[in-house]
A and B are shown apart, each in its own frame.
Chain A
Amino acid sequence: MSTPKKVLSRVEELQRLAAEAGIDISDEIKKITEKVDEGSASTRAWQRVELARNPDRPRALDVIANICDDFIELHGDRHFGDDPALIGGIGFINGIPVTIIGNQKGRNLKETVARNGGMANPEGYRKALRLARQAEKFHRPIITLIDTQGAFPGLGAEERGIGEAIAVNLREFSQLKTPIICIIIGEGGSGGALGIGVGDKIYMLENAVYSVISPEGYASILLRDASQAKNAAGKMKITAEDLLEMRICNGIIAEPKGGAHVDPAESSRLIKEAVVRDLEDLMPRNPAVLVRYRNQKIRKFGHYTEE
């Protein structure tokens, strides 16, 4: 029996005893059951966070290798350099040329260092925009594979305008006259994820998470205790189910039992299936109409009242 279930069975026992003694403890019981619910919500959310961050989880380049018949990686932002944390290029999916852009985390310690843990600098976002405009020019759909803790919070990133780079991507991706499919394959961390996350369709892998700040960041800022990350994860609504329910994402792509890392080939097959289905749906559409719908959808995000 799981720990929360054990607690609940004791609660039932307590209720029975209290009833026998004629004591009303319903308020106290309600508090306990709420705590148990919260606890299991954070356990569920935290399991997802751990799976999303699993070092063996397939990375963008693994997914690309599996879903493409062929892939040509293209480099550089044409102004400053090439950012290995954000990769891109031209791929063929069932013979259809597409532009793929993705955050690339490392697959081992050495690569993690080389790729800055998948945390991109401004030149990464500018490369992404260059490749996206190139895709528009040559009528290729765009697929983005999102998997980052966030943009790199470094000195050079600030000097070279990381805020401006992301802002421009948000504006420009909203206007690109070509279909854009965004898939959060692991961690969707804040503005760094959104910088390649504006599109016509947003998908999340079953165990991916997407949030405005990391659970650790939320815990240390709002709960003033960084060790409360697991608790924060339960409150923040960051799982694929949460985002589907809030209509931020359009759908969830299933993962093999145990997570994508258990069977990367099967996970990629499921991603490819979703991508091909959407390409067939989006490619025949009038680009101007596509852009209009995309922006209408973006403008609807938010909850407020005007009464």
Chain B
Amino acid sequence: MSDKTPCPSCKSELDAASLKANLLVCPSCGHHFRMEPKDRIAYLADEGTFSEFCKAMRSLNPIEMDGYEEKLSEAARKSNLDEAVITGTCEIEGMPVVLALMSFSFMGGSMGSVVGEKITRAILKGVENKCPVIVYATSGGARMQEGIFSLMQMAKTASAAAELDREGLPLFVVLCDPTTGGVTASFAMLGDVAIAEPGALIGFAGPRVIEGTMKQTLPTGFQRAEFQLEKGFVDIVAPRKEQRDLFVKLLKAHRPASGDKKGGAA
């Protein structure tokens, strides 16, 4: 197999196998391609330690929107995923963590009841297991087909983040391309440490909406990871290949103190 993929950034013709071996990062210019949860698990988690939970959770059609069930089955078939987020526990260098990994391939990573509930339970699993929670966020925003219930997922995930806070346990969020809308305005911006993938679009309103409001074209790099770093909303822009090492260090810095059940260095 010698499938060639053109890099959208530098136009290099990339060999699919070597691209995969390079964590879906262009070896010429460093462009980060979107990465699916299973590939991130393979990269981040100690081998064989990932154990998924809430796999069976499925959306209903709460506001009886025409065509939503079909849309869900189509998304599942096309993406080969159950929903737009995978949640589970694992170890990184032997340190236990809860992982929640979103995928843009399932209905644009939109947050409906299932995404909201799974993220919430992942955060609360951190409380239960007294361990840190790592969320890889990518989303176009709220899932409009679920109407007001989607909006309420923002409040729900934020309420879970508050509980993790109270227990002194850390939430690490990696903002991936793109992270916008209701996901940005809830758990994605509540990380104790906010990490962004290079070049990722991170914002609340989408660029086209803002252009419509301002009636002007946006400056180059607007809302990108590096822009958010400059504006102070991101702690670190971390290339993919450095993320595992970064987590090893961060997890060591946030180990629960022995004999202190509240734990955490936060």
A interface residue numbers (CB < 8 A to B): 151-155, 157-164, 166-168, 170-172, 174-175, 190-191, 194-195, 197-198, 210-213, 218, 221-222, 235-238, 243, 246, 248, 295, 298-299, 301-307
Q: Quick one: closest A residue to B186, CB to CB?
A: A167
Number of interface residues of B (CB under 8 A): 62
Q: Give the distance in Å from the alpha carbon of A299 to the alpha carbon of B163 in the complex.
A: 12
Who on chain B is nearest to A246 by CB?
Answer: B148
Interface residues of B in 199-221 (CB under 8 A from A): 203-205, 209-210, 212-214, 218
Q: A158-B210, A194-B152, A302-B113 are in contact. List 8 more A-B contacts (CB 8 A).
A: A158-B222, A191-B154, A211-B151, A213-B142, A295-B162, A302-B62, A302-B112, A302-B149
Is A306 in contact with B54, judged by CB distance below 8 angstroms?
yes
The 6 closest A-B pairs by CB, nearest first: A302-B113, A153-B205, A170-B158, A301-B152, A163-B184, A163-B204
Which residues of chain B (169-218) have a CB below 8 Å from chain A? 181-182, 184-190, 203-205, 209-210, 212-214, 218
Do residues A238 and B147 form an inter-chain contact, with CB atoms below 8 A?
yes
B221 to chain A, nearest CB (A): 12
What residues on B are CB-neighbors of A243 within 8 Å?
148
Query: Closest CB-CB distance, A27 to chain B, in whole Å?
Result: 18
Is residue B126 within 8 Å, beta carbon to beta carbon, of the partner chain? no
In the complex the two chains form, is B114's CB within 8 Å of A304's CB? Answer: yes
User: B165: nearest residue on chain A (CB-CB)?
Assistant: A171
Please give, as numbers and ranges, the residues of chain B lying within 8 Å of A166 by CB-CB distance. Answer: 154, 185-186, 204
Dominant secondary structure of chain B at its interface with chain A = helix
Q: Which of the listed residues A170, A210, A304 has the most CB atoms from chain B within 10 Å of its own CB?
A: A304
In contact, A212 and B147 (Cβ under 8 angstroms)? yes
Indicate which residue in A155, A160, A170, A212 contacts B218 across the interface (CB closer than 8 Å). A155
Closest to B63 in A: A237
Q: Across the two chains, which residue of chain A brings its CB closest to B184?
A: A163
Select from chain A the residue with minimum beta-carbon distance to B66: A235
The A-B contact count (CB < 8 A) is 184
CB pair A168–B214 under 8 Å, yes or no, is: no
Query: Which chain B residues have a beta carbon within 8 Å of chain A's beta carbons?
Result: 54, 56-63, 65-66, 112-114, 116-117, 120, 142, 144-156, 158-163, 165-166, 181-182, 184-190, 203-205, 209-210, 212-214, 218, 222-223, 231-233
A175 to B223, alpha carbons, bound, how many Å? 30
Q: Name the residue of chain A whose CB is nearest to the CB of B62.
A: A303
- Give Cα distance in the complex from A301 to B146, angstroms: 11
Partner of B148 from the list A159, A175, A210, A304 (CB cut-off 8 Å) is A210
A-B contact pairs, 26 of them (CB 8 A): A153-B205, A153-B209, A153-B210, A155-B210, A158-B205, A158-B223, A159-B231, A160-B231, A163-B203, A164-B185, A167-B184, A167-B187, A191-B181, A194-B154, A194-B155, A198-B159, A211-B147, A211-B148, A212-B144, A237-B63, A238-B147, A295-B162, A295-B163, A299-B120, A299-B156, A302-B152
Q: Which residues of A contact B223 (CB under 8 A)?
A: 158
Among B54, B154, B213, the most chain A Cβ lie within 10 Å of the Cβ of B154
Query: Residues of B contacting A157 with CB < 8 Å?
Result: 204-205
Q: With A and B bound together, what is the CA distance between A290 and B94 in angstroms?
A: 39
Residue on B with the closest CB to A249? B148
For A302, the chain B residues whose CB sits under 8 A away are: 62, 112-114, 116-117, 149, 152-153, 156
